[in-house]
Each structure stands twice: as C-alpha cells, then as structure tokens.
Amino acid sequence: DTEVTQTPKHLVMGMTNKKSLKCEQHMGHRAMYWYKQKAKKPPELMFVYSYEKLSINESVPSRFSPECPNSSLLNLHLHALQPEDSALYLCASSRQEMGEKLFFGSGTQLSVL
Amino acid sequence: GENVEQHPSTLSVQEGDSAVIKCTYSDSASNYFPWYKQELGKRPQLIIDIRSNVGEKKDQRIAVTLNKTAKHFSLHITETQPEDSAVYFCAATPYSSASKIIFGSGTRLSIRP
C-alpha cells in the first residue's frame, strides 16, 4: 500500500461548527504533514509530526488543532473557522523527517460559510 | 530563510516539443531538490528529485539539472505529450530545516495538440 488516504474528500462547515479531517498511511512512514493549498498556489506547510510528536507548527491559528494518535493516523481538528480558511487541505507522509519524497493524499476540499 | 523562485508561471508548447522550467534558490545549504506534478483536481506527485551531490538525473523523458554554484536547477521534459499538461512545482529543502520543503510558485504547462 503506497497511498495516503484522506477523509472526507469534501467538507462544508459553518463558522461555529467543529469538524475533523482524517489521514491514514500504512507505509511505515514516521513523518506526517498537514499542508494548506489555495487555488493556483503551492502547498503551504502547517504542521509536521515526527515519530508521533509535533515537531513543527508554522504559526498556525489555534482554531486548527492537529493530533497524531499513532504512527499511521493524523487528524486535523477544526473549530470556529473563518471563510478565508476555505482551501484544499493536504496530508502527506515521508519515510522520515528529512529531505525525503513526500507522498500526498488527495486532499479535503474545505468550504467555510 | 530559503526562498525558491520559479519561472515561467505559464508555459505552452506544441505536442512533441520540449519544455523547460527553471528555479533558483537562496540557501546555499539546501541539499534536496524535488519536482512535483499536480494535475487539475489531483494530489501533487513527485516526478523526479535530485540531491546536491549530483549534477543531473534522468528518468525517461524527464531530466533535472542542478548548478550549485549558480544556485539554480531546471526541469526538462522532452517529446511532450497531452498527459504532461499540469502544474509543476519545484522545491528545495534547506539543510537547517530538513522537513520544511520550500515550494516554488508553480508553472502551469499546457501541451497544444
């Protein structure tokens, strides 16, 4: 299995809702990432987990809360989002937290109303 | 910190011709340079990468060259085909922050039939 699986594929939420994005990989990768991608822009790094510990938080607002329950799973909890948070949220993994090939999931297209 | 500039932002070539995309980076300590292809509505996928101890790498119709002295690297696609139409992102990984891949702004490549 060489895939990163993300659910849901699409999500529409109001500004007062709480929702979660899920990501799973079974490649034995020890680094997992959340990226945010706006239309026609490159992915922007949000968080990095290495060996299930948060190693990088790119000054992301607290309304985004990551969680890594185990080495195969990564969640992103969303609360009180703003319309400008609407974007494609991509999960990725790599063998380790070094200059390595990133395997991206197909993303969750999020719309905040 | 690292900055990656990518040119051109859009590129249209006749099917069968070659396409070249160029990137420059600022951090001389960067040591890993991947290229990602993102088709419309799909996930970014690595197509080729190069490390700083290598000057050129080829994989069938795709090649990447690296000039460490000038701090630039290029993607070359020969005998272009319709399925090459996509957005291409170059990236660089600074040695000091090996998990923070810095992406270029992207090149939208269109192949004319």
Instruction: Give the DSSP letter of residue A80.
Output: S
Q: Give the tens place of pLDDT for each residue, B85-100.
A: 999 999 998 766 656 8
- Reference B90, options B28, B38, B13; nearest CA is B38
B102/A49 Cα distance (integer angstroms): 17
Cross-chain residue pair B45–A41, CB shorter than 8 Å = no
pLDDT band at B9 (very low <50, low <70, confident <90, very high): very high
Q: What is the 3-state secondary structure (H, E, C) of chain B?
A: CCCEEEECCEEEEECCCCEEEEEEECCCCCCEEEEEEECCCCCCEEEEEEECCCCEEEECCEEEEEECCCCEEEEEECCCCHHHCEEEEEEEECHHHCCCCEECCCEEEEEEC
Q: What is the Cα–Cα distance from A96 to A29, expressed in whole angstroms?
A: 6
d(CA A77, CA A90) in angstroms, rounded, equals: 14
| Closest CB from B43, B100, B104 relative to A56 | B100
Query: Among A44, A17, A32, which residue's Cα sits nearest to residue A104?
Result: A32
If you average pLDDT over residues B14-41, what whole number do you get? Answer: 95
Determine how many CB atoms are found less than 10 A away from the CB of residue A39: 7
pLDDT tops 90 at residue B42: yes
Q: Are residues A41 and B106, on separate chains, in Cβ contact within 8 Å?
A: yes
How confident is residue B52, by pLDDT bands cut at 50, 70 and 90? confident
Contacts of A109 in chain B (CB under 8 A): none
Provide mean pLDDT across the span B67-85. Answer: 97
Task: Report chain B residues whose CB lies below 8 A from the CB of A97.
Answer: 98-99
Q: Do B89 and A101 touch (CB under 8 A)?
A: no
Interface of A with B (CB under 8 A): 31, 33, 40-43, 45, 48, 50, 55-56, 90, 97-102, 104-107
Please give, rounded to a whole number of angstroms, the shortest distance from the CA of A6 to a CA of chain B. Answer: 11
Give the residue from chain A lying closest to B108, CA to CA: A40
Q: Quick one: DSSP state of residue A27?
A: S
Q: What is the distance between the alpha carbons of residues B23 and B90, in angstroms, rounded to a whole number?
A: 7
- Give the pLDDT score at B12: 98
> Is B30 a residue whose pLDDT tops 70?
yes
Report the residue of chain A nearest B105, measured CA to CA: A42
| Residue recorded with tokens 């070659």 | B18
Output the pLDDT for position B73: 97
pLDDT along chain A (113 residues), means of 10: 91 94 96 95 94 92 96 96 97 85 95 95
Cα–Cα separations (whole angstroms), residue A81 to A21, A38, A66, A74, B82: 13, 15, 14, 19, 39
Backbone dihedral angles phi then psi of residue A84, each to the nearest 5 degrees? -70, -10
Taking the C-alpha atoms of residue A90 and residue A86, their distance in angstroms, rounded to an integer, is 13
pLDDT at B101 over 90: no
